[in-house]
Amino acid sequence: MANLEVPKELREEARKHDMYLTPIAKDTYELFFGPQHMATENFSIILKMDGNRIEKAIVNPGFLHRGFEKLAEQRPYFTNIALLLRICVPESDVPENIYSMAVDEIVGWEVPERAIWIRTVVLEMARVSAWMFWIMGFGNEIGLYTPGQWAAAYRERFMRLFEELTGGRVYHIYTVPGGVRRDIPGDKWLRQLRDTVEYIKSKLKDFDEILFDNYIMFERTEGVGVMDKKFALKHAVTGPNLRAVGVPYDVRKDDPYYLYPELDFEVPVLKEGDSLARVLVRRYELEQDLYILEQLLDMGPPSGPYMVQDPKLKNLPRFKVPAGDAYAHVESTKGDFGAYVVSDGSHKPYRVHVRGPSQSHGVTVLEELLKGARLADVPVILKTLDNCPPDIDR
């Protein structure tokens, strides 16, 4: 029979939080967390447990391995758009853009202003849609299901707009080298987008009341999964996770692209480095992204073509890109997302490499933050790091 006792430090912690603490067995055991658990999505973690505490966590990805990068080297340039966007499903427009930006640079195209405006709008729409997806998952993990249901409904509004714009709800295959696949539907679509932005802005106070200011959320996240600035920089942490430790790095500000130099927005920064800080940074960024969309709609789409005018584009399967290489990156909700493309002058890329944020967040960082955590903290830490499993398995 296992020898049961409650360590003194855990008794003190329980008393501080007014928690009932059951005895913890000294016997260790192994627990498989995921991939069937909704908190992990297509992802698994092998936990070495000591009672309710995690001694060691071993990330076990591989459930989505598709060899995206090598497959991209066997396909024509434009065909790769439908392939690479699957690297991050909740924000599929990001892989489209980084790949297209890299190809644009190699070819030497000057993308039309109208296409630049549309690309910027699409990326910000993708960010807000991804925030709704994240709220949906995070609320469910801490037992607050109502805001998750709201977020799913609000995300549906963006998915309808995406469907009208691109023909697809989740995978859009819209941003392509040289511009975008087709023009915006018209003024009615722009009015619908503005109405959607204003509607979600009006609902932020409801999210605050039931989720972000909820004592349950604070109890589940404050002081959980803490990392400091030194650790974050060492392990290549980017995006909201980096800004939650006090580093004000945002690709849109520090290496601006598209229309971001002309837009007015703040980069939310907190210093605590725990799960609570990561949650609140995302809440503030959602508000900033809605503000950016408002500015873009006020600017309106410039006149002109939405695609470069190049006679070589008449035969897309045999379209050849001059020899060269380029790296392009954008700020996604997951972090700094980049693509390195090498051309040997043929109609297929010689090399495609994606630098996604989840390789660090979902492997090395996650394993470190789970050490010493409780079993109940696993979905909290996982969701506040917000990794994208297909990015790890790319």
- Every domain of the chain and the residues it spans: 76-393
The CA-atom distances, in angstroms, between 75 and each of 22, 100, 172, 365, 392 are 57, 15, 19, 34, 22
Residue with tokens 């954008």: 330
Cα(55)–Cα(42) distance, integer angstroms? 23
Enter the tokens of residue 336.
């700094």
- The pLDDT-based confidence of 266 (bands split at 50, 70, 90) is very high
Least confident span in 75-84, 186-195, 312-321, 376-385: 312-321
CA quadruple 240, 241, 246, 248: dihedral, nearest 10 = -40
Residue 349: beta bridge partners?
A: 343
Three-state DSSP class for 192? helix
Cα(161)–Cα(191) distance, integer angstroms? 11
- The pLDDT-based confidence of 132 (bands split at 50, 70, 90) is very high
Enter the tokens of residue 277.
């800080």
Whether the pLDDT of residue 241 is over 60: the answer is yes
Superfamily holding 76-393: Cytochrome-c3 Hydrogenase, chain B (1.10.645.10)
Helices (H) and strands (E) in the chain — how many of each?
16, 10
> Phi first, then psi: what are they for 4, rounded to 5°?
-105, 135
The verdict on pTM exceeding 0.85 is: yes
Enter the tokens of residue 7.
């360590």
Whether the pLDDT of residue 14 is over 60: the answer is no
pLDDT of 38 reads: 63
> Measured in Å, how far apart are the chain's first and last C-alpha atoms?
45
pLDDT of 113 reads: 97
Residue of 310, 306, 239 lying closest to 277 (CA atoms): 239
Q: What percent of the chain has pLDDT over 70?
A: 92
Taking the mean position of all CA atoms in its chain, how far away is CA 70? Answer: 23
Cα(119)–Cα(93) distance, integer angstroms? 9
Residue with tokens 């299901």: 145
Q: What is the pLDDT of residues 171-225, one digit of tens each?
A: 999 999 999 999 999 899 999 999 999 999 999 999 999 999 999 999 999 999 9
Give the number of other Cβ atoms within 10 Å of residue 90's Cβ: 23
Quote the DSSP letter at residue 79.
G
Q: What is the pLDDT of residues 99-117, one digit of tens each?
A: 999 999 999 999 999 999 9
Whether the pLDDT of residue 23 is over 80: the answer is no
- The pLDDT-based confidence of 89 (bands split at 50, 70, 90) is confident
